[in-house]
Amino acid sequence: MFILFFISLKMGDGFHRFCWISFSWIMILCIHQVRLSEPQLDGSCDFFRGSWVFDESYPLYNTSACPFIEKEFDCQANGRPDKLYLKYRWKPTDCMLPRFNGRDLLRKLKGKKLLFIGDSLSLNQWQSLTCMLHAAVPQSNYIINRKGDLSTFSLPDYGVSLMLSRNAFLVDLVKEKRGTVLKLDSIENGKLWKGYDLLIFNSWHWWNHKGRKQPWDFIESKGKVKKDMDRSVAFKEGLTTWSKWVDSNVNTTTTQVFFQGISPTHFNGKEWDGAKSATCIGQTKPATASIYAGGSPPPAVAIVKEVLRNMSTPVVLLDITGLSQLRKDGHPSIYTGLKGNDCSHWCLAGVPDTWNQLLYAILTTGET
Query: 133: closest CA among 161, 113, 112, 111?
Result: 161
- How far apart (Å, rounded) are the C-alpha atoms in residues 194 and 251? 10
- Give kind and range of the element (H or E) at residue 304: helix 299-309
pTM of the model: 0.87
pLDDT in tens, 38-63: 334 445 689 999 999 999 999 999 99
- Give kind and range of the element (H or E) at residue 125: helix 120-136
Coarse DSSP helix, strand, coil percentages of the chain, rounded to the nearest 5 percent: 35, 20, 45
- How far apart (Å, rounded) are the C-alpha atoms in residues 293 and 296? 8
**Which positions ≥6 away from 267 have C-beta within 8 Å?**
279, 280, 343
The reported pLDDT for the residue numbered 29 is 38
- From first to last of its 368 residues, the chain has per-residue pLDDT tens of 444 433 344 444 554 444 444 444 444 333 333 332 233 444 568 999 999 999 999 999 999 999 999 999 999 999 999 999 999 999 999 888 999 999 999 999 999 999 999 999 999 999 999 999 999 999 999 999 999 999 999 999 999 999 999 999 999 999 999 999 999 999 999 999 999 999 999 999 999 999 989 999 999 999 899 999 999 999 999 999 999 999 999 999 999 999 999 999 999 998 887 788 889 999 999 998 776 665 677 889 999 999 999 999 999 999 999 999 999 999 999 999 999 999 999 999 999 999 999 999 999 886 65
The reported pLDDT for the residue numbered 136 is 97
- How far apart (Å, rounded) are the C-alpha atoms in residues 268 and 333? 13
Q: Which one from 161, 205, 345, 353 is the annotated catalytic residue?
A: 345
pLDDT in tens, 202-260: 999 999 999 989 999 999 999 899 999 999 999 999 999 999 999 999 999 999 999 99
Q: Which one from 8, 120, 151, 333 is the annotated catalytic residue?
A: 120
342 is catalytic: yes
